[in-house]
Structure 1
Amino acid sequence: MDGKVIYLMGPSGSGKDSLIDAAREPLGALGCQVMRRVITRSAESVGEEAVGVSPEEFLRRQDAGEFSLAWEANGLSYGIPVEMDERLKSGCHVLVNGSRAHLRLAMERYPTLVPILLTVRDEVLRERLLRRGRETPEQIDARLARNALFRDRRATDTPVHLIDNSGDLADAVKQLLDLIRLSAGPDRT
């Protein structure tokens, strides 16, 4: 495939959706399209531009081979439509809002995948999660602990590019675009 998968990961509350929204237009100028995920909950509750489906519909689509990538995380199912492979074959890069736990399998399927981890200082992440109000303080502590485990394991596991989104969103957008320019090759516009 001529295009590359840009695989963006990060803990809940790290600002992946905000980063993707802010970078959407300049990503297009780099020949990189954002893939819309299919998720087993309504798009309104996700906070991203996603297709919300029932668990039964998700399984039907998965069994029919309609996903290039699919995984489960936090009690939900996520899928990336097979249109991604068509875009890659045509030379487009694609950005996927992916899962840290699914990274290894995604890299097996797409060996030239560019893994990017969006990080946030723990105190900033805790504040964002508390402000969002979806989880109890205990659930937030568990999320922060999982995040620390992934951060520690990352050093000896698959190397990933890091973007710190603790501060100004424009800085994170610039870091993302610079990484794509360096990792994914020349513009394909």
Structure 2
Amino acid sequence: MAGRLIYLIGPSGSGKDSLLEAARDSLLQRGGRIVRRVITRSAEATGEAAHGVSVGQFAAMREQGAFAMSWEANGLSYGIPSEIDQWLADGQDVLVNGSRGYLPEARKRYPDLLAVLLTVDQAVLRERLLERRRESLPEIEARLARNAAFTLDAGEDPSLVLLDNSGPIRQTVTQLFALIDRA
């Protein structure tokens, strides 16, 4: 039996990286994998367990077929290594940190994927974004507005599962595995 792609999306600051890290050991124990993305920025600057490469390296990797999925967002290139296809074929569930914008393409390639939108209370999200100090206040407010609009639209998509990460991360991990088990 083939494994299932679990495609995690959510706004910057929602806690995707924290969730991936907190779920890693439990998913491995269940015979699954969490993918390490390839991103065109240094490993120190990614803020996640990603493999940072140059723009040229990324282009060469894409040309050589190194990615099962790849997209551009926020001035960067992101790639999901092609090894996931073998892992899925071997029956392993595979959890990836995806992109909201790339979701339609991901669904074309992996029609049975479980799309999970990590949500967070707007006040909690604002606080997390402010603590990171990566963006100005107007940029944060614009990001919050985009997130609110996307979450509202996503609530009308029955194929998208919402997962609230406003509370403790262990609670979110427990809820994630309940979603995976139900799907």
TM-score norm. by structure 1 comes to 0.93
- What RMSD, in angstroms, separates the aligned Cα atoms of the two structures? 1.2
Cα distance in 2 between the residues matched to 1:43 and 1:180? 30
Alignment partner, residue 169 of structure 1: 169
Task: Report the residue type matching 2:59 in the other structure.
Answer: L
Per-residue deviation at 1:158?
Answer: 5.7
Alignment partner, residue 44 of structure 1: 44
Cα distance in 1 between the residues matched to 2:176 and 2:157? 22
Cα distance in 2 between the residues matched to 1:31 and 1:6? 14
Q: Does 1:85 align with 2:85?
A: yes
Runs of 4+ in structure 1 displaced over 2 angstroms? 155-159
Cα distance in 1 between the residues matched to 2:81 and 2:30? 21
3-state SS, counterpart of residue 101 of structure 2? helix
State the Cα deviation string for residues 157-187 of structure 1 (Å, max 9, x = none): 462111111111111010111111222xxxx
Matched residues, number? 183
Cα distance in 1 between the residues matched to 2:109 and 2:163? 24
Q: Give the stretch that moved more between structures: 146-155 or 113-122.
A: 146-155
Alignment partner, residue 105 of structure 2: 105
3-state SS, counterpart of residue 135 of structure 2? coil
Identity of aligned residues (%): 55
Alignment partner, residue 28 of structure 2: 28
Task: Report the residue type matching 2:90 in the other structure.
Answer: S
Cα distance in 1 between the residues matched to 2:146 and 2:43? 25
Per-residue deviation at 1:89?
Answer: 0.8
State the Cα deviation string for residues 47-78 of structure 1 (Å, max 9, x = none): 21110001111111111111000011111110
3-state SS, counterpart of residue 117 of structure 1? strand
Long gaps (5+) in structure 2 = none
Alignment partner, residue 186 of structure 1: none
Alignment partner, residue 180 of structure 2: 180
3-state SS, counterpart of residue 142 of structure 1? helix
Cα distance in 1 between the residues matched to 2:83 and 2:162? 27
3-state SS, counterpart of residue 72 of structure 1? strand
Seen in structure 2, the aligned counterparts of structure 1 residues 104 and 158 have a Cα distance that, compared at 3 Å, is: farther
Task: Report the residue type matching 2:182 in the other structure.
Answer: L
3-state SS, counterpart of residue 100 of structure 1? coil
State the Cα deviation string for residues 25-68 of structure 1 (Å, max 9, x = none): 11112221001100001121112111000111111111111100
Cα distance in 2 between the residues matched to 1:103 and 1:74? 16
Alignment partner, residue 131 of structure 1: 131
Alignment partner, residue 9 of structure 2: 9
Task: Report the residue type matching 1:56 in the other structure.
Answer: G
